[in-house]
Structures are given as structure tokens and as C-alpha cells.
Amino acid sequence: MSTPVVAATVPAALSLEAGTYFWCACGKADPQPLCTGAHKGSGLGPRKFELTEAKTVYLCQCKQTKNPPFCDGSHRAL
């Protein structure tokens, strides 16, 4: 599999602390949108991102964003 699964057509709003996170790029993680290791064998791996301060982020769940891991509204075209 080299095409990600559309996990949802809305972004996930998460309040996260400062730190390192891994966003699910394959769409198979349960729960979404952070990596659970479900990508194994898919040919797609997680995308690492870091936050320097606590904040609310909107993470893409359609996996079509041009600004991973953040939602850019690409889900509106699905």
C-alpha cells in the first residue's frame, strides 16, 4: 500500500503539551491521528513533529494535506 487510507474527513483537534509526536501518515492507526504502529507493511511511515509549547493543533485525518501533519482543508475536496 502506498496510498494512505482516509481515516476521517475532518481534522482532529488535540490539545498537546510541548514535545515530540508521530502523526499517522497511513491512516490505519486506531485511534487516529497519532501513530500506533499500524503502518507496518504499508510502505508508509509516521511523520515526526515537535511542539515547543503547549497548544491546540488541528491534525489531518484525510491524509491529503500538503502541510503534514497539520490540516490544510484538503478534506473539503474529497
1: confidence class by pLDDT, cuts 50, 70, 90: low
Note the pLDDT tens digit of each residue in 44-72.
999 999 999 999 999 999 999 999 999 99
| Partners of 34 in the β-ladder | 23
C-beta of residue 27 within 8 angstroms of C-beta of residue 7: yes
2: confidence class by pLDDT, cuts 50, 70, 90: confident
> What is this structure's pTM?
0.93
Note the pLDDT tens digit of each residue in 11-41.
999 999 999 999 999 999 999 999 999 999 8
Tell me which residue of 60, 49, 57 sits closest to 11, measured CA to CA: 60
